[in-house]
Amino acid sequence: MPTVCTTIKVSKDGQYILATGTYKPRVRCYDTYQLSLKFERCLDSEVVTFEILSDDYSKIVFLHNDRYIEFHSQSGFYYKTRIPKFGRDFSYHYPSCDLYFVGASSEVYRLNLEQGRYLNPLQTNAAENNVCDINSVHGLFATGTIEGRVECWDPRTRNRVGLLDCALNSVTADSEINSLPTISALKFNGALTMAVGTSTGQVLLYDLRSDKPLLVKDHQYGLPIKSVHFQESLDLILSADSRIIKMWNKNSGKIFTSLEPEHDLNDVCLYPNSGMLFTANETPKMGIYYIPVLGPAPRWCSFLDNLTEELEENPESTVYDDYKFVTKKDLENLGLTHLIGSPFLRAYMHGFFMDIRLYHKVKSMVNPFAYEEYRKDKIRQKIEETRAQRVQLKKLPKVNKELALKLIEEEEEKQKSTWKKKVKNLPSILTDDRFKVMFENPDFQVDEESEEFRLLNPLVSKISEKRKKKLRLLEEQELREKEEEEEPEGKPSDAESSDSSDDEKDWVEEVRRQRRLLRQEGKGTWQHQVQEDQQTVLQPQFYEIKAGEEFRSFKDSATKQKLMNKTLEDRLKLEAKNGTLNVSDTTVGSKQLTFTLKRSEQQKKQQEAEKLHRLERKKLRRSAGHLRSKPRRGRSRH
């Protein structure tokens, strides 16, 4: 199912298995002969329960949680009707073709399928009814109420013929009841036997001729009983709640076995005349269990019997518990080669088995130095015990050993401190995968000679000396342990514990000394650079002038480079001073910047030449006009 399977049933001919589930609400039919899905039909609402009226899947009735009753034929949906109250269970009476519906009402609704109409309901004394069942032998109808009673009706006379108070009878000396037990499951077996399940986890077995239960079985979980089934071959009753399926003998109540699935149970169906059962769970997959003791496997999965027979066949293998396996070389060392072929040695693989008592007896006679070997073994064990009490060697990484040792020491100090319980244990950098590369890749090696490292860590020199000394001690201890295997070692050196921490004065002096060293190193590098500059011979450098540019001097390029290195504020001040920038205030309070392009010398000369050319042309025009005006005046005078 997509999400949850609610109910599961098997057709009377055993060929089809039908199951309902959600979400979306649907019914699925499986064909056991083809071992495949026959069909799948989606429904309008979730199914409370359903019943297969025919021997196959051709006639099915569904009770929905929205009061609708839906009829399906072989081709699909056939008809839909509605009952007045919400239904919880229903049963089919074959002699009269009546459907009996019980639910959130005191009435039992009857729908006759032959006439196609509702009949007069049965009026019970209960406020609500939970479950119902019809005896297949004599047709007695029984319904379980929320008051913990079972009412029995005769469908022929439509009168109540019996009443059982199961709630009172379910209370025993060992049971703990916190609420009124209601009837949650009901099942007939034969003409006289009936099993009743309560909401508090008890199963009551009744003989219809008596109002007292023959047997009361408690599941001990306090959960409602979901279903009850009878197993005829072994006289067993299968009762299930949402957690467990219990199989017990109906005569003695003795537990036969139990099944506890991983997910909660909704329904259980026993395949007829076999040892297989199906479960509807709160999970997409339905559970299938096969118990060979209950019966044979169904015809469509007969291979299960062959599998179980193979599992039951346990070939007896010869076990040599009191024998010692020895090879031919071992026999030569013991001097027992003459026993090959005798009953004292049993050939096996590449050696022989011999009696362990004979082996120990010959071993003590041949090897007189066995006590010395035993003594050496005991000494070796004592050495290993003393090593376990000493400080264990730490395996440091190849990269940043000093940093790793520092982290290990800090971790040990935290463990020894008194506020360890108050602070949460944070993951160590050594065990964190995010910083694993820092101790594996040589590119992450800390450079202790750099200026930043020495200024930020003024006491790193002394601390590094301590750690280097400790590293040497650890390496010496490791070499010593490899060389000495039989003699116990002495106590580890505690020289590092005698070093006291530096005070504030030592720290200040260390900082000053580091600064002096850095200053001397910088002065030495500067003098070395000056000597190299004096020894180098300067070579002439050639520069290429781009097209359209005029070379003036190196000074202009130098001033231009200096100007580019200045900040924007300094450049604006300089441009305002030269007259290429004009800053003015506007009416709204903002600033207005006006830039004037700076002209080059060539542009200035060209502009002056054009200005002179225009002046000369004006002078020429004036002189030409003056010459033209003089003859005209003379003619007029004559």
Q: Are strands 193-198 and 265-270 parallel, antiparallel or unpaired?
A: unpaired
pLDDT surpasses 60 at 450: yes
| Backbone dihedral region for residue 589 (phi beyond 0: left; psi -120 to 50: alpha; all else: beta) | left
Q: Which of 426, 396, 425 lies closest to 408 in space, CA to CA?
A: 396
Select, from the ranges 5-9, 229-233, 515-519, 522-526, the one with the highest average predicted confidence (pLDDT): 5-9
pLDDT tens digits, 461-498: 555 556 566 666 766 776 776 665 544 444 444 444 44
Amino acid (one-letter) located at 226: K
pLDDT value of position 430: 76
Q: Is residue 326 a contact partner of residue 335, using CB atoms and an 8 Å limit?
A: no
pLDDT at 497: 41
Cα–Cα distance between 123 and 95 in angstroms, integer? 21
Q: 217-230: per-residue pLDDT in tens?
A: 888 888 999 999 99
Give the residue with greater pLDDT, 352 vs 502. Answer: 352
Query: Which pLDDT tens digit goes with each residue over 593-605?
Result: 776 666 666 677 7
pLDDT digits (tens, 9 = 90+) for 119-143: 999 999 989 999 999 998 888 999 9
| Dihedral sign for Cα atoms in the order 38, 44, 46, 50 | negative
Kindly state the percentage of the chain with pLDDT values over 90: 30
Give me the CATH code for the 5-313 domain, please: 2.130.10.10
pLDDT of residue 500: 45
Sheet arrangement for strand 60-64:
47-52, 60-64, 68-72, 77-82
d(CA 203, CA 183): 10
Q: Is the pTM value of this prediction over 0.85? A: no
pLDDT at 119: 92
* Contacting residues for 446 by C-beta, under 8 A, at least 6 apart: 400, 402, 403, 453
pLDDT, one tens digit per residue, over 560-589 is: 777 777 787 788 778 777 767 777 666 555
pLDDT for 96 beyond 60: yes
3-state helix/strand/coil string of 327-378: EHHHHHHHCCHHHCCCCCEEEECCEEEEEHHHHHHHHHHHCCCHHHHHHHHH
Nearest to 200 by CA among 213, 227, 218: 218
Tokens of 259: 């099944």
- Residue 51: is its pLDDT beyond 90? yes
Q: What is the pLDDT of residue 597?
A: 65
pLDDT above 70: percentage of residues in the chain: 75
Q: Where in the chain is the domain with CATH 2.130.10.10?
A: 5-313
